[in-house]
Structure 1
Amino acid sequence: MRIDLTGKMALVTGGTGQLGRVMISTLAECGADIVIHYRSNAEKANQLLQEVLQTGRKAMIVQGDITSQESVMQMKEQIQASLGRLPDITVANAVEQYAWTSVLEQDPRDYQSQFDSCVMQSVYLAKAFIPSMAERGYGRFIGINTECSMQNFPNQSAYTAGKRGMDGVYRVLAKEVGEQGITVNQVAPGWTVSDRDRDQGTEHNASYEQQVPLRRRGTDQEIANMVAFLASDLASFTTGAYIPVCGGNVMPAI
């Protein structure tokens, strides 16, 4: 048994980010053609494009603002024009970055940025790409959430609010499009080791790791593995799920 995405096309937003770049390489290794979305890092996007093309997969890059419906619809048109069809798999990975502080000190614009990049990105991607999935009777709609949605720690309010709002959209959407053969799921990483940590030598944090049942931080590859699983037919009967990939640091209860 293996993950086989041959013949499928995947769009990853925020593809040049620390997690997105590993999702892209993993999905390509599984056989998927790839659409790499970026907002500002054109150099990294082009590097990823060449890496994917070297695997023999079809690929393209699209630049866009995922908080703008007009921009997302332009991305859709570019993909259709360049590759002749639209993605079978979308991964909403992009998110706005901001400085975390307390509710009383957080700039109200930060709450808006998180709502736009978590909730509205997902809505715009659904409007752009789910209709074609429905026509094919097949689709995988995947969002990257966070363990913070369950932790509610100090200084996380804007991020947590955006991701909890995103969670509501995904749960409702799963019920709306399930009969059309489309699954809708969320991956919720913990504090994940990425290339930035490897470059800076910051892979370990004792105070965080001692709280995690597996006593370590997860890796970008482990997040990408879950994304690939949910994108595949191995997860054909999984929908509406919020799946923490955080070593047990948070555990959804029933």
Structure 2
Amino acid sequence: MQIDLSNKTALITGATGDLGRVMARTLAACGANIVLHYNHNEAKANELRQEITALGRNAIIAQADVTNEQHILAMKEKAAKELGHVDIVVANAVIQYQWTSVLEQSPSDYFSQFESCVMQSVYLAKAFIPAMIERGGGRFIGINTECAMQNFPNQSAYTAGKRGMDGVYRVLAKEVGEHQITVNQIAPGWTISDRDRANHTEENAGYSQHVPLKRRGTDQEIANSVAFLASDLASFITGAYIPVNGGNVMPAI
């Protein structure tokens, strides 16, 4: 048994980011063609495109502000023209900001998180799911966070955006399930990425001591979970919020 995404096309927003790069490589290794979304880092997007085409897959880059519906629609048209229909959507992009307390956080940060978590997902759904309905299937995957369950100090804007996103995905899963479209979320913990490897900051005892598996997860482990949900192996899983964080948070029944 293996994950086979041959003849599938996947769109990954935030594909040039720490987690997005590994998702793109992983889905391509499973056989998928890739639409690499970026906002500012065109050079990294082109570098990643070259990596994926070297694997024998087709890949294109697409610039867009994911908080702008017209940009999302333009990205859909570019993908359709150059690669055909998109079978797998991975909403991974999020706006970065400086975390602080509720009393000190700028209102603009709450708006940015709502736009990049909730509205990005709504725009992607409106753009790509109608064609999935016509074809009778698809995968819609969002990258959430363990923070949505932690509610720690200084997380308020991020947690608010991701909790709003969670509501959209759960409702959407019920609305499109009859068309064999699955809608799921991956919730990473504090994940080791290439940035940590370069800075030798992989270990953090203060965090890991609270994780049942006693370590931080890796970008590859997050990407593996995305590949699973994108595949036929996950054909009967929908509406799920799946923590990939070594048990650091555990949803209750």
TM-score by length of 2: 1.00
Counterpart of 2:47? 47
What is the CA distance between 1:122 and its match in structure 2? 0.1
Shift of 1:80: 1.3
Which digits, 9 at most, give the CA deviation of each residue in 1:36-94, with x for residues without a partner? 000000111000000000111111000000000011001111111212x2210000000
Is 1:228 equivalent to 2:233 in the alignment?
no
Classify the secondary structure of the residue corresponding to 1:96: coil
AA aligned opposite 1:66: V
The match for 2:27 is 27
Segments of structure 2 that go 5 or more residues without pairing to the other structure are none
1:72 equivalent in structure 2: 72
Instruction: Please give the alpha-carbon distance, in whole angstroms, between the structure 2 residues aligned to 1:103 and 1:204.
Output: 29
Measured in 2, the distance between the counterparts of 1:163 and 1:64 equals 21
> 1:75-126 CA deviation, whole Å, 9 max, x = no partner?
111111212x221000000000000000000000000000000000000000
Confirm or deny: 8 A CA contact 2:37 2:62 kept in the other structure: yes
Question: In 1, Cα distance between the equivalents of 2:81 and 2:143?
Answer: 27
Instruction: Measure how far apart 1:138 and its partner are.
Output: 1.0
Partner of 1:198: 197
Q: Distance in 2 between matches of 1:63 and 1:70?
A: 12
- The alignment yields a C-alpha RMSD, in angstroms, of 0.4
1:224 counterpart SS class: helix
- The residue type paired with residue 211 of structure 1 is H
Residue type at the aligned position of 2:127: A
Query: Given residue 190 of structure 1, which amino acid in structure 2 is its aligned partner?
Result: G
**Which position in structure 1 is the counterpart of 2:174?**
175
Distance in structure 2 (CA, Å) of the matches to 1:80 and 1:18: 26
Aligned to 2:242: 243
Residue identity over aligned pairs, in percent, reads: 73
Contact 2:80 2:86 in 1 (8 A): no
What secondary structure is seen at the aligned counterpart in 2 of 1:19?
Answer: helix
Indicate the larger mover: 223-232 or 70-79: 70-79
The structure 1 segments of at least 4 consecutive aligned residues displaced by more than 2 Å after TM superposition are none
Q: What is the CA–CA distance in structure 2 between the aligned matches of 1:61 and 1:232, rounded to whole Å?
A: 23
C-alpha separation in 1, matches of 2:150 and 2:234: 27
Q: Quick one: distance in 2 between partners of 1:93 and 1:86?
A: 19
Equivalent runs, 1:1-254 vs 2, <5 Å: 1-83=1-83, 85-254=84-253
Offset from partner CA, 1:162-188 (integer Å, 9 cap, x none): 000000000000000000010000000
Aligned residues: 253
